[in-house]
Amino acid sequence: MIEPTEGDILTVLNRYLDNGDRDTFHQILIGRAIAEIKHLRMRVADLKNGFEGSCTACEPVGEMNRKLNQELSKIRAEKALNEMTKLDQEMGLL
């Protein structure tokens, strides 16, 4: 993501405010804020999952954690489906 300079921001601000188009300017600010929030959430998730740190093993361990979490989610979903099927059979629905 390319960070605009303070001069870039002021240029855009003045252009929209001089034209009286405050709504467009606010939409631009909101869009940038949303994009930045999404980016920061991804960065926080990467940090929590061990993709950055002080050792060279962090990224591979983070990837392994991601795969293990996906497998665990799949196992939990299968278990829930099996339990629901069992209940349906006990109730005579299947």
pLDDT digit string, tens, across residues 13-41: 777 676 667 777 777 778 888 888 989 99
For the stretch 63-88, pLDDT in tens is: 888 888 889 999 999 999 888 888 87
Q: What is the reported pLDDT for 20? A: 67
Domain ranges of the chain: 1-48, 54-94
pTM over 0.85: no
SS3 content of the chain, % helix, strand, coil (to 5): 80, 0, 20
Chain mean position to CA 54: 23
CA 24 to chain centre: 26
Q: Find the farthest-apart pair of alpha carbons in the chain and give their distance in angstroms, rounded.
A: 72
